Structure 1
Amino acid sequence: MSTEPLLVRARGLWEGLAAAPVSFAPVGGVDVVVSPESGMCPAGWVGLVSLGGSAIVTAPGERAAAIVRDALEVLPVAAVTDADAVRGVLPVARVLGPAMLAYLSPDAFRPVRPGAQAVEQLPGEHPDLRRLEQLAGEEDTGEAGLREITSPAFVLREGGEVVAAAGYRSWPGRTAHISVLTAPAWRGRGLARVTGSATAAHALAVGLLPQWRAGVPASRRVAVALGFEELGAQLSIELA
Structure 2
Amino acid sequence: MSVDSLVVRARGLWEDLAQVPVSFDPPGAVNVVVSPRSRLCPNGWVGVVALGGSAIVTAPNDSAAQFVRDALGCLPVEAVVDGVLVREVLPVRRVLGPAALAYVSPAGFRPVEAGALAVEQLPPAHPDLRRLEHVAGDDDAGEASLDEITSPAFVVREYGRVVAAAGYRDWPRRTAHVSVLTAPEARGRGLARVTGSAAVTQALTRGLLPQWRARPPASRRVATALGFVELGSQLSIEIA
> Which category of TM-score, normalised to the shorter sequence, fits these structures?
over 0.9
RMSD: 0.5
Matches of 2:118 and 2:166, distance apart in 1: 14
Matches of 1:11 and 1:208, distance apart in 2: 15
- How far residue 69 of structure 1 moved from its aligned partner, in angstroms, is 0.1
SS at 1:88's partner residue? helix
Matches of 1:88 and 1:23, distance apart in 2: 26
Which amino acid in structure 2 is aligned with residue 29 of structure 1?
Answer: A
Which amino acid in structure 1 is aligned with residue 104 of structure 2?
Answer: L
Q: Structure 2 matches for 1:64-103, cutoff 5 A?
A: 64-103=64-103
Count of aligned pairs between the two proteins? 240
Corresponding residue for residue 177 of structure 2: 177
- How far residue 27 of structure 1 moved from its aligned partner, in angstroms, is 2.0
1:42 aligns to 2:42 (yes or no): yes
Matches of 1:186 and 1:75, distance apart in 2: 42
Structure 2 length normalisation: TM-score?
0.99
- How far residue 26 of structure 1 moved from its aligned partner, in angstroms, is 2.9
Corresponding residue for residue 235 of structure 1: 235
Matches of 1:52 and 1:87, distance apart in 2: 23
Corresponding residue for residue 205 of structure 1: 205
Matches of 1:67 and 1:216, distance apart in 2: 31
Corresponding residue for residue 62 of structure 1: 62
Q: Please list the CA deviations of residues 129-188 of structure 1 after superposition, one character each: whole Å capped at 9, or x if unmatched.
A: 011011101111111111110000000000010000000000000000000000001111
Which amino acid in structure 2 is aligned with residue 87 of structure 1?
Answer: R
- How far residue 28 of structure 1 moved from its aligned partner, in angstroms, is 1.9
Q: Please list the CA deviations of residues 177-215 of structure 1 after superposition, one character each: whole Å capped at 9, or x if unmatched.
A: 000000001111110000000000000000000000010
Q: Please list the CA deviations of residues 193-238 of structure 1 after superposition, one character each: whole Å capped at 9, or x if unmatched.
A: 0000000000000000000001011000000000000000000000
Matches of 1:218 and 1:27, distance apart in 2: 30
Structure 2: gaps spanning 5 or more residues: none
1:21 aligns to 2:16 (yes or no): no
Matches of 1:68 and 1:55, distance apart in 2: 13
Matches of 1:231 and 1:197, distance apart in 2: 20
Matches of 2:198 and 2:40, distance apart in 1: 27
Runs of 4+ in 1 over 3 A off after TM superposition: none
Corresponding residue for residue 117 of structure 2: 117
Matches of 1:145 and 1:73, distance apart in 2: 33
Structure 1: gaps spanning 5 or more residues: none
Task: Report percent identity of matched pairs.
Answer: 72
SS at 1:195's partner residue? helix
Corresponding residue for residue 163 of structure 1: 163
Matches of 1:6 and 1:131, distance apart in 2: 35
SS at 1:97's partner residue? strand
- How far residue 73 of structure 1 moved from its aligned partner, in angstroms, is 1.1
Q: Please list the CA deviations of residues 29-58 of structure 1 after superposition, one character each: whole Å capped at 9, or x if unmatched.
A: 000000000000000000000000000000
SS at 1:201's partner residue? helix
- How far residue 96 of structure 1 moved from its aligned partner, in angstroms, is 0.5
SS at 1:107's partner residue? coil
SS at 1:114's partner residue? coil
